[in-house]
Amino acid sequence: MATMLSLDPGGTTGYAIFDVDLVNLDQPAELIQRGQIAGSLNGFLDFYHDVLDAINIDLIVCESFTLREGVYGADLSPVYIIGAVQALYGETAQLEYQEPKLKPLCDDARLKKMGLHISGKPHANDAVRHAVIYLRNNKHMPTLTAGWKD
């Protein structure tokens, strides 16, 4: 089993921690913990020292930052958090980045169908969403069956 951390970085960062077998793709992933971290980079670093530092993270799935043309005054918090993730985990964990435009592959209705949606925590839901999309795109059969089999 491997520990996967999924992040939706920002002013409020969503996170989700899963146990998943990355070799035997027929084993279900187990959601261990999810939540939201306030405080941008400083909040993330506090969370790292208080929680993540004690966990052996094997894989990180993180939303990438895309600066959209015509958007002025963009929040750069995700850039700083991504930099911290690279500094903290770049040599010890596999880092995978996903573009924000992939989120519609797993909307709230699909998260609810899978029993993974939590009301009032949009950033935590986005972190779970990124994990589910990563597993889906890597042909993780329990995820495909739970979320895409009609």
User: Whole-angstrom Cα distance, residue 61 to residue 84?
Assistant: 14
The one-digit pLDDT tens for each residue of the chain (150 residues) are: 999 999 999 999 999 999 999 888 899 999 999 999 999 999 999 999 999 999 999 999 999 998 777 767 778 999 999 999 999 999 999 999 999 999 999 999 999 999 999 999 999 999 999 999 999 999 999 999 999 886
Structure tokens at 143: 């995820």
What are the Cα distances from residue 49, in Å, to 44, 103, 134, 147?
9, 29, 26, 34
Residue 25: predicted pLDDT: 85
Number of domains present in the structure of the chain: 1
CATH for 22 = 3.30.420.10
The range of the structural domain enclosing residue 126 comes to: 2-148
Give the β-pairing of 59-63 and 30-38. Answer: unpaired
What are the Cα distances from residue 133, in Å, to 28, 85, 128, 141, 144?
14, 20, 9, 12, 10
Cβ(2)–Cβ(12) below 8 Å: no
Residue 2: predicted pLDDT: 97
